[in-house]
Amino acid sequence: MKPHLHWPLAAALGAATVAGFAPLELFPLPLFTLAGLFALWRRAGSARSAALLGLAWGLGFFLVGVSWVYVSLHDVGGMAAPLAAVATLLFCAVLALFPALVGYGYGRLRTRQPLPDALLLTGLWTLGEWLRGWIFTGFPWLALGYSQTPPSPLAGFAPILGVYGVGAIVALMAALAAPGLDRAAAQPPHRLTLPLMLALIVGGAALRLVPWSHPVGAPLDVALLQGNVPQSIKWNPEQLPLSLERYRRLAAAHPAQLTVLPETAIPLFLDQIPLDYLTALAGKGELLLGTALRQAGGGYVNGAVALTPGGGLQTYAKRHLVPFGEYVPPGFAWFFGLVRIPLSDFSAGPPRQPPLTIGGQRVAPNICYEDLFGEEILRALPAATLLINLSNTAWFGDSLTQPQHLQISRLRALETARPMLRATNTGMTAAIAPDGRVTAVLPAFRTDALVVSVQGHAGITPYMRHGNKAAVGLALLACVPAWRVRRRQGRATPATRTA
């Protein structure tokens, strides 16, 4: 293939990779598309060319995978279409810098020896994804490991290495396969390629059978309410009765031990909601409600409130806020003149907050975007026996957000071996077992309630002990063989010249 065709091919491979994630979940696909990118990197003539190939792959991947950013800015936020398109392109271009950086690093450090190069690609890719999930508060959406939810056998590694570790295994398999796609390769694939890939697949399948946690307490009947209130009318004061009546009706029709309403389900501060209305929502059970909470010293937080029959009140305040959605990054106040976002100046909650005691279980709430960050979920563990995510994805319309976010929650369940419940405004409201399987789900954009019986779990997974440190540490170690080969090659060069 002519070199000038490599860039569009890289972009096409990136775009195709999105099909490996929800809703299609063609989990083997990212292995092949990433192997294609790695094969292109092997043929790149310089580190700069490899970086540009990584940038092209990233643009294809993110422009398709997070196309919902445009929906949020234009369709829901009211930003002018040209500005929303430019903003989406710039956002995706920034995200594409991470695979570009990986390509540049590989171009600088490659050894042209199959196994050290495969390990180098694995290490650099994993470090690039981890960096994307950390720098500037992080955006780990569509990290490679999310594509490997069950039935993928590689899901078995999630309780040990987390999402970045699962992604590293996919990257290793792709790197081992890449020489077979490169017809111009001087060396054949390493002889360990097939045995190692088979060992990883069989090992992952075996690990899926390991019971990392055990049931505790009595099962809890839970009603997860999906109000399906359009974002365009949710914050209109004239439409407030619609929200109040819709959730009251859903709660009355689906009584349960615990009733859960999604993020900011009632567009009021907690102190503005009548107590008798909250009591009616709880019925004879308990209530977990996503709502904005005023702080005693001023300001407000995006929170969750648990109301018990005895009148007790427990609260949780969202810790990891969404930049440009829940707070204003320094120097970007002008942005909010272009888009309509109510309550866009939240304060962050404390880093560590104890689980809430609800229905005999220890519940760790997380709000919307927070469940992207596995290590932050761990702060409530191992005490928590149940995870509950409260989300309002109405901001993203009818897009890939809903199935992608559900898949993210499945990884959190796998990493912690805890059940995860999701109560969302427009979708996807669901119940997830500790092994990452979705046991019940409501279709998106339906006004309904999902009533499930959930069993709390206790226990400690290896990932709960070390978080992302193991995956990052292994990624660094994977780069060592290539570094050592490069050192030997550097020392050998003067002698070769003398000869």
Catalytic residues: 263, 318, 368
What is the 8-class DSSP label of residue 346? P
What is the C-alpha end-to-end distance of the chain, expressed in Å? 37
- List, in order, residues 6 or more apart from 40 with CB less than 8 Å away: 6, 9, 10, 53
Please list the alpha-helical segments (H only) found in 182-341: 193-207, 231-234, 240-253, 275-282
Yes or no: say if 321 and 346 are a contact pair by the CB < 8 Å rule: yes
Residue 198 class from Cβ within 10 Å (0-12 exposed, 13-18 middle, 19+ buried)? exposed
Cα separation, 177 vs 188, in Å, equals: 10
Residue 328 burial by Cβ neighbours in a 10 Å radius (0-12, 13-18, 19+): middle
> 72, 396 in Cβ contact below 8 A?
yes
Q: Which residues pair with 313 in a beta bridge?
A: 307
**Is residue 184 within 8 Å of 48, Cβ to Cβ?**
no
In sequence order, the 6+-apart residues with CB closer than 8 A to the CB of 295 are 301, 347
Residues in the chain: 499
d(CA 40, CA 98): 17
Helix or strand (DSSP H, E) at 490: helix 480-498
> How far apart (Å, rounded) are the C-alpha atoms in residues 396 and 231?
9
| Strands 220-226 and 448-454, bridge-based pairing | antiparallel
Euclidean distance between CA atoms 380 and 211, whole angstroms: 21
User: Distance between CA atoms of 448 and 386, rounded to whole angstroms?
Assistant: 22
CB-based contact 388:363 (threshold 8 Å): yes
Q: Locate 227 and state its tokens.
A: 């109000």
